[in-house]
Amino acid sequence: MTTESTYQAASTVAGIIEAHFIKHLEAAKEEGTDNLATIPSARIVEKIIDVAFWASLRREEGNATRMSLAFVDPAQAGKPLLFEQPLPLNPQVLTKLAPGVERAGVHVGIWHDGDELYIWGTTIKLPNYCFVLDVSEPGLLVVKHRRVLGLGKFTNVAMLKGDQVKVVDETSGMNTCSPGLLKSLLGLETSTLWSNPENVLIQIAVSMRAHKRGGILLVVPDNSSSWRESIVQPLQYPVSPAFAGVADLVRQDSSSVSEIYWQNALRREVENISGLTAVDGATIINRHHELLAFGAKITRAGNSSPVEKVLMMEPVMGGSPSYVHPSSIGGTRHLSAAQFVHDQHDAIALVASQDGYFTIFSWSPTKQMVQAHRVDILLL
């Protein structure tokens, strides 16, 4: 690690990332959490990011390099796949390995021998708060860490895209008006239950973004029909009785099935719901994740006024809230979602854009207006 990094953003963000892991790992240690990962030094972070960035720009047989790198001692990796001889950590080696390790859940293990980093094999098991670097697409890297107990999506720490660097601001979700989904994505509210409603909603959001067709998901209160006042009637694709594929899994006794079974079953049901968000119009579920309708056209409620502005925020360091017209966030889809929440204060709206942006619309009781949180950096 004596060679200076040639990707400038790596050195810019390395110290911030080291401080993040020091904070969380020391706090977890004080709380008695076991199986904790090793703190990655700024120099190690910088080197891994630098190598991964240049590897991301290479192709193997015409395919882009996509993989997940984890800084982890093989002794903490469960039953890892170990190479007979360690491999050097450089762009050429990563590019060659990429086709065999690009599937979700597989991590390339990186460790150090003195000042040298090397690749020791692969693993599907990581310790708590393990440093992970996801090579998502050419020039796009996402720093993450595994949540305690490994439940749900990994928590994102920073995103690097070319010369653009965004570091997640964890304090941005501490406002009492922040939606639960945002707090869960930031790791401020975590649950050890597989079936936690916010954890499930995160999986739906990730799947919505993944189909890249754009869409709106409206989450409305249970046992209430007031949301119909903001939807053009009759519904184009009503569902009766409400489809409870996801809801039935959430209600299932977690002790009666294995974690792997439940996660696989949830993935299938989530894709069933999120796929419908690609249909023109909004998909509507209640807070128990029961599907009520899809392809619904949003309209302004009869006794409501047009939404003129929303409070726009992004949970990144250096970001500042701003008041904007909702159509400026992403067009008519975002305007419709903002209008729905403006009329239905107990609902939230999740909006995925075709270009990858993702926004949560919710009502702020203190500001008495619609707030929009752009969270695509947390869903990568």
Q: Give CA–CA dist 288/340, Å, rounded.
A: 19
Cα angle, residue 40 at apex, residues 38 and 46 outer, rounded to 5°: 160
| Token pair of 335 as six digits | 């305007």
**Is the pLDDT at 147 greater than 80, yes or no?**
no
Instruction: Please say whether the beta carbons of 182 and 375 come within 8 A.
Output: yes
The Cα 25–Cα 367 span in angstroms is 35
pLDDT higher than 70, residue 1: no
Distance of CA 152 to the CA centre of its chain: 10
Mean pLDDT, the chain, whole residue set: 90
Task: Name the CATH superfamily, with its identifier, for domain 180-378.
Answer: DNA integrity scanning protein, DisA, N-terminal domain (3.40.1700.10)
Q: Give the model's pLDDT for residue 193.
A: 55
Structure tokens at 366: 């203190």
This prediction's pTM: 0.87
- Quick one: angle between helices 8-30 and 42-56, nearest 10? 130
Q: How far is CA 18 from CA 23, 43, 126, in A?
A: 9, 9, 18
The pLDDT score that the predictor gives to residue 183 is 87
User: Cα–Cα distance between 190 and 186 in angstroms, integer?
Assistant: 9
User: What pLDDT, on the 0 to 100 scale, is given for residue 254?
Assistant: 61
Q: Which residues pair with 82 in a beta bridge?
A: 121
DSSP-derived letter for residue 102 is -
Q: Identify the pLDDT of residue 15.
A: 96
Determine the pLDDT at residue 194: 55
Report domain extents, the chain. Answer: 8-167, 180-378
Distance of CA 301 to the CA centre of its chain: 32
- Asked if pLDDT for residue 251 goes beyond 90, the answer is no
Q: What are phi and psi of 376, to 5 degrees?
A: -60, -30
Q: Read off the pLDDT of each residue in 176-197 and give the average, rounded to a whole number.
A: 74
pLDDT computed for residue 348 by the predictor:
97
Comparison of pLDDT for 247 and 362, the residue scoring more: 362
Query: In this model, does residue 176 exceed pLDDT 90?
Result: no
Give residue-wise pLDDT tens across range 308-330: 999 999 999 988 899 999 989 98
% of the chain exceeding 90 in pLDDT? 71
Per residue in 327-372, pLDDT (tens digit) is 899 889 999 999 999 999 999 999 999 988 999 999 999 999 999 9
CA torsion, points 227, 229, 234, 238, in degrees to nearest 10? 0
The residues near 203 (Cβ < 8 Å, ≥ 6 apart) are: 152, 153, 266, 267, 270
| Rounded mean pLDDT, 4-28 | 92
In whole angstroms, give the CA distance from residue 179 to residue 202: 12
- Spell out the long-range contacts of 175-182 with Cβ–Cβ below 8 A and sequence spacing 24 or more: 176/366, 177/362, 177/364, 177/365, 177/366, 177/367, 177/371, 178/373, 179/348, 179/360, 179/362, 179/373, 181/205, 181/348, 181/350, 181/360, 181/375, 182/315, 182/360, 182/373, 182/375, 182/378
Nearest to 293 by CA among 227, 350, 208: 227
**Amino acid 188: pLDDT:** 72
**Nearest-angstrom CA–CA distance, 155 and 29:** 18
Q: Indicate the pLDDT class of residue 255, thresholds 50, 70 and 90.
A: low
In terms of pLDDT, which residue wins out, 247 or 233? 233
pLDDT over threshold 70, residue 156: yes
State residue 167's pLDDT score.
Answer: 95
